[in-house]
Structures are given as structure tokens and as C-alpha cells.
Amino acid sequence: MWNEFIIFPFTNVLLWIYDAIGHNFGIAIILFTILIRAITWPLNAQQLKSTKVMQDLQQDKEWQAIQKKYAKDREKLAQEQMRVYKERGINPFASCLPTLIQFPIIIGLYQSIIHALAATPLGLLQLARSIYPFMNAAQLIPLNSKFLWMDLGRPEGIAFPAGFSIPFLPNGFPTLAIIVAATTYLQTKATMPPSGSSPGGQGAAMNSMMSVYMPLLLGYFALNFASGLAVYFVASNVLGIVQYASMGRVNWRNLLPGGGQPSPAPGKKT
Amino acid sequence: MKRLTLVSLVVLLAFLISACGTGASTESWPGLAADSSQVYLASGQFVYAVRLSDGSKVWQYPDKAGPQLFYSPPVLTPDGQLLVGSSGTDYGLTSLDPATGQTKWAAPFVARNHWVAPPLVEGETIFAANNDGALYGLELATGRMLWHLPLGGSLWGAPATNGKLVFVASLDHHLYAVDPSKQALAWKLDLGGSAPGTVSVSHDGSTVYAGSFGKKVFGVDAAGGSVRWTTDVKDWVWGAPVLASDSVYTADIGGHIYSLGAPNGKNAWPDILPDGPITGSPLALADGMLVATESGTVFAYDSTGSKLWDTVIGGKVYTAPIAAGDRIAVAPTGTDFLLAALDQNGKLLWKFTGK
């Protein structure tokens, strides 16, 4: 079922885009990313809305009173928090949903990239059988996996000079992995909601951890998996910043040391 | 911390899910070679030597699973070597002793990609076609690289020769003819689709036969690359067309089999569908041909297209059966044995499980 509902449709959309733009798989991945971002934008917008509600809640007097009163009673604190959520119709997990949705997409996209680039006889046979009848499969295969300096079916790396090697970097200097980590950091920081009235509190700690955790995680993926996935990451990160900026939700001050001020209301300059 | 825990669990789930998916991990693309007493099977992470008489294992290479992965059939050389190319991360081309499985030499050069095509041995030279799109000329005795010629695409089919030129088909839709004396391209021909299979050469060396994903089979003038005939078939041709007398036997992945006239490409048979997709090359018999289908069945036909027998092997058969002495060896995948031997009447003689 995963193949029929995720891998095959993703693969065919990628191939359709690839064929339409003149057989450039890297550009096809980028355009596919734009398509996915457009489709999931309503979820992202909902996430922004939920995040804003949660931010406002941090400033609420009743909420702050609860935090103070039950600071040493975790169970009671949790109960009171849930009561407030329920009374005000707030879903505390709503802001997580876009993140959760992204992971099956990432997995599906990675597998469809590997599926489309078919490096083995069995892989090629499976690809041939997954291409929808209206596609001109015979002319599409094999896919052109070259994009810029990369082979999209293999981890990216720029070869070290002859005689020089680093044991944990068998593919060479990981340029794309660094770009992935950097853009992930930029997106995470620039779109991070303010940590509320207590910059040293749990929210700030969470934000700080995510701004380190996510770039390292995605950089690791980019280092070890096919570079087509890394192209997706970079495109998705850049698009994410653009989308948030278009809504006036980007907080560039977060990128500066000591940043973390609330983002301005839409339409107001920083 | 709860959110971080949740994200961490999702990441873990992502890794687990990414380990699932296409379901290809339990299946391989085995290849076969044989001499008078043993069958050599390259399957998964090992190469096995199996006694023809009773299916018992003689040796396996390597002793323990390593970086090697074999999609390329092993090749026996006239001077007593067994050449195996790896599709694993090592990209190795290795010479083994057929009697013991010991390494004679491992190619002292680095190919840029894995080996799917079996090599061709002609005289003192090994012609090895790599997935990096290059044809390598290697010294037979040592594996030392003499030259290499980038051609294009990925080369999955074994090279063939008429003694003057070396022919190899590519996934980039072309049939290439190389002059080994000049290490240069002689000509190339667009086959209208990818060609993962080997090509065949007529006995007099004048004609090359090739099939492609363009649903075509070609008879090509070997000297200049002009097309003598083209025959449309019903589906993609994966395996090599096989020449027997004045017939060219071929099959497509739609499951159709054909007997084309060598001079003109005309199909002498009615529409015959054994029982499933065919990716392996047919095997020419004394009078007729034999194919194995993905459904796990072996079919034998005489030269008129009448079925002689069929035998259910089991599993899926993607690669070509071979003649091994007076027996027929078939390597299925996706089942609990790796190799089966039949007699000339299709009777199952033994199965080899790898143990």
C-alpha cells in the first residue's frame, strides 16, 4: 500500500515534471518541492495560527497564575493546563502537525528518488512497472541523474586532492550537507516563535535545542543519503523562509546573538 | 521536553519506515556460468561453486558477507580463471580459482561504479563494461588496466565481439562498436530505448543482434553499424537475442517469445506467451529454445514453436538459464533455494540452498 499510494504517485509526478522541463532531475526535485509546499501550506498556516495562540497564552494572567501556583505539582499543573486548553478550544499539538506530515513526505520523496534513479537491474524492472501507462517510459529511462556537480542518486561530496582522505568522509568534502545544515539553521531560527516572557525558561531552551538538533539531523541525512534528498532539503528550507517572510512572520533578529524578540505584526517593518 | 520526545520518536519512526518500502531487499539478480563438472552461481553477497552431479557446494566466496554484491554473472576464462564483478561498495573485479574459490587477483584499478555486465575475454584481454559507462581493457593474467574508453550511459550487458570490433549496448539507448586496436569508437547506433542486455554476433561476424526497451530487435551490419532489419515486438526486450542456426530467439518482458529469421527479422512463430514476464535471455537448444519466466517456470520449445515441456521451479526467475553439461541450470530468486538443475526433458534433478 505504501508503494501504491506514496512511492508510485511521487515517482510519476517527479517523472512527469522531469519530462516536461527537459530531463533535469535536480530541477524536477525543486519544482516537486514547491508543489508539496503549496499543497501543505494550509497546514503550515494553521500551524502559524496555533503557534500565535500558544504565544498569546503565555502572556495570559490566568495561565501565568497556574504556572506559579502549581510549579511544584506537575500532575496538577498538567491537569490545569489541559483544562485551560479545553475551555479555550486550543489544541496543543496543532503546531506539531505540519512537522509530522513532513516526515512521511520526506521518506516518500527519498524512496521515490532512489526508485526513479534505479541503479540495479531489479530496481529498473520495478521502476518500469511503476510508471503509469500514459508516461513514455521507454524514452524517460534512464533518468539523467547529474545535476550541477552531483549525482543525485549518490551522497554528494567534492573529491579531496589525490592522496588526502578523511575516514568519516568517504565521499569527499560534504558541500551540500553543509548547505543543508546552514539553511536548516537559518529557517529554524528565522521562523522560530519568540520564547515568551521568560527568555531563560523552558520555551527558550526548547527553541535553542531545536535550532541545533534539526540542522545536525538533516545535515547527517544529507551526508549519508542520496544527494537528491539534500536538494529537497535546501529547496524546502529556502521556500519555508520565503513563505514565512511573505506573511511577515520572519524574525531576522533571531539570527543575531542575543536575538529572540517577538516578531512584528504583519505589515510592520522590523 | 515532551515535544522533543515526540519529535525524536517521529525521527526514529522515520528511520524504521525508511528501512521498509519497495521490498526488494530479499531478492537478487543471480548469474551463472558452468564448466564440465561445476556450476558457478553469483547471487546476493556470494559466489558459489556447485557440483553438477548432485548440487553439493564445493566452495563459496567470500567466506563471510562483506561489501561485495553480485549482479553480474561470473565468467570462466580459457586460461582457467573465474572472473566476478561486484555491485557492492567495493566496485571490485576479481579473479578466482574455479577449483578452490581462492583469489588469484583483485583488479588493481578503481572503477568508478559497480559491475552489472559480465566481462568478455578475447585473447589476452578482458573487455569489462562498467556502470560508469566506460569499457575497460584489462590484462587477462593480472587484471591490470590497459586502457579505458568512456562510451555513455550505464553498461549492463556483456560485450560481444566478431574478432575485429567489440560491441556493447548501453542504457543510454545506444549500441556501441569499439575498435580495440585503436581504443576508439568505430560507430554507434540509436536503438530507440535502453538496452540492458547483451548483444549477439552472427557466426560469420557480419551481423550484430540487439533488443531494446523501444520494443524493437535489430539486425545490424557489424562493420559499419547500418541497420539491416528492425522487427517490432510487443514489449521491452531485456535479455540478449540468441542466435541458433538461422533463427534469432528473443523474448520480451510482456512474456512473448519470438523466433526471428536471422537474414530478415521476420517472426516465424505465432504469438506465444509462456506464462509471465521474461527478462532473461533464451537458451538455444539443439532444436529450439528454452526460456524461464518470472513466474518461476521453465519452458522448452522446438524450432516450430511447439512446446516440448514445462517445469515449475518456484520463486522468480529474472536471469538466463544456462546449459551445464547435459543439464540445464536455473537460478531463481525470492525462494528458499538458489539454484536448480534440470535434465534435457525438464525433470528436476536437484536444488541448491546455499548451505
- Please indicate whether, in this complex, the C-beta atoms of A121 and B318 are within 8 angstroms of each other: yes
What is the pTM assigned to this prediction? 0.83
Give how far B64 is from chain A: nearest CA, Å.
Answer: 23
Q: Are B164 and B178 in contact (CB under 8 A)?
A: no
Torsion sign over Cα A228, A229, A234, A237: positive
Nearest to A7 among B21, B29, B154 (CB): B21
CB-side exposure of B75: number of CA atoms within 13 Å? 26
pLDDT at position B159:
97
Give how far A253 is from chain B: nearest CA, Å.
Answer: 24
pLDDT at position B240:
94
pLDDT at position A270:
41
B227-234 mean pLDDT: 98
Q: By C-alpha distance, which of B336, B324, B284, B278 is closest to B41?
A: B324
User: B131 — contact with chain A (CB < 8 Å)?
Assistant: yes
Q: By C-alpha distance, which of B350, B352, B342, B334 is closest to B44?
A: B334
pLDDT at position B97:
97
Give how far A138 is from chain B: nearest CA, Å.
Answer: 6
Q: Are B129 and B160 in contact (CB under 8 A)?
A: no
3-state secondary structure of B231: strand
Q: By C-alpha distance, which of B153, B338, B174, B116 is closest to A121?
A: B116
Q: By C-alpha distance, which of B100, B104, B125, B191 is closest to B152?
A: B191
Substitution target from A54, A97, A109, A122 for chain B, most B beta carbons within 10 A:
A122
User: B236 — contact with chain A (CB < 8 Å)?
Assistant: yes
Given a cut of 60, whether residue B330 has pLDDT beyond it is yes
Q: Cell 520495478 identifies what position?
A: A126
Could you please state the CATH topology (level 3) that the domain comprising B269-355 is classified under.
Lipocalin (2.40.128)
B112-119 mean pLDDT: 90
Contacts with B253 from chain A: Cβ below 8 Å: 125, 128
Nearest residue in A to B170, CA atom: A142
Q: One-letter amino acid identity for B9?
A: L
Q: What is the ipTM of this complex?
A: 0.88
Residue A124 belongs to domain spanning: 2-255
Which residue did the predictor score with more confidence, B291 or A256?
B291
**How sure is the predictor about B20, in pLDDT bands with cuts at 50, 70 and 90?**
very low
Nearest residue in A to B113, CA atom: A119
Show Cβ contacts of residue A215 under 8 Å, excluding neighbours closer than 6 positions: A180, A181, A182, A184, A185, A188
Q: Give the domain ranges of chain B.
A: 269-355
Contacts with B7 from chain A: Cβ below 8 Å: 96, 99, 210, 213
Contacts with A123 from chain B: Cβ below 8 Å: 24
pLDDT at position A94:
63
Nearest residue in A to B5, CA atom: A206
Contacts with B13 from chain A: Cβ below 8 Å: 103
Q: pLDDT tens digits for B118-168?
A: 999 999 999 999 999 999 999 999 999 999 999 989 999 999 999 999 999
Give how far B294 is from chain A: nearest CA, Å.
Answer: 11
Q: By C-alpha distance, which of B240, B177, B179, B166 is closest to B209?
A: B240
Which residue did the predictor score with more confidence, B290 or A236?
B290
Quote the number of domains for chain A.
Answer: 1
Q: pLDDT tens digits for B172-206?
A: 999 999 999 999 999 999 999 999 999 999 999 99
Is residue A264 included in any domain, yes or no? no
Nearest to A123 among B13, B17, B24 (CB): B24
Is residue A142 included in any domain, yes or no? yes
B90-105 mean pLDDT: 92
User: B192 — contact with chain A (CB < 8 Å)?
Assistant: yes
Torsion sign over Cα B29, B161, B76, B321: positive
Show Cβ contacts of residue A50 under 8 Å, excluding neighbours closer than 6 positions: A90, A91, A94, A95
For chains A and B, what is the number of CB pairs under 8 angstroms? Answer: 87
**How sure is the predictor about B224, in pLDDT bands with cuts at 50, 70 and 90?**
very high
Taking the mean position of all CA atoms in its chain, how far away is CA A169?
24
Nearest residue in B to A95, CA atom: B3
Give how far B109 is from chain A: nearest CA, Å.
Answer: 15
Is residue A45 included in any domain, yes or no? yes
pLDDT at position A183:
92
- For the ranges A206-220, B19-33, B54-68, B174-188, the one whose mean pLDDT is highest: B174-188
Contacts with A120 from chain B: Cβ below 8 Å: 24, 29, 71, 87, 116
**How sure is the predictor about B275, in pLDDT bands with cuts at 50, 70 and 90?**
very high
Give pLDDT < 50 ranges for chain A: 197-200, 261-270
**How sure is the predictor about B294, in pLDDT bands with cuts at 50, 70 and 90?**
very high
Could you list the beta-strand ranges (E) of B141-267. Answer: 145-150, 160-161, 166-169, 174-179, 184-190, 200-201, 207-212, 216-221, 227-232, 242-244, 247-251, 257-261
pLDDT at position A242:
87
Give how far B204 is from chain A: nearest CA, Å.
Answer: 31
Which residue did the predictor score with more confidence, B329 or B25?
B329
Nearest to B24 among A107, A122, A142 (CB): A122
Q: By C-alpha distance, which of B284, B316, B272 is closest to B29?
A: B316
Q: What is the mean pLDDT of chain B?
A: 91
Taking the mean position of all CA atoms in its chain, how far away is CA B312?
22
3-state secondary structure of A236: helix
Q: pLDDT tens digits for B200-211?
A: 999 999 999 999
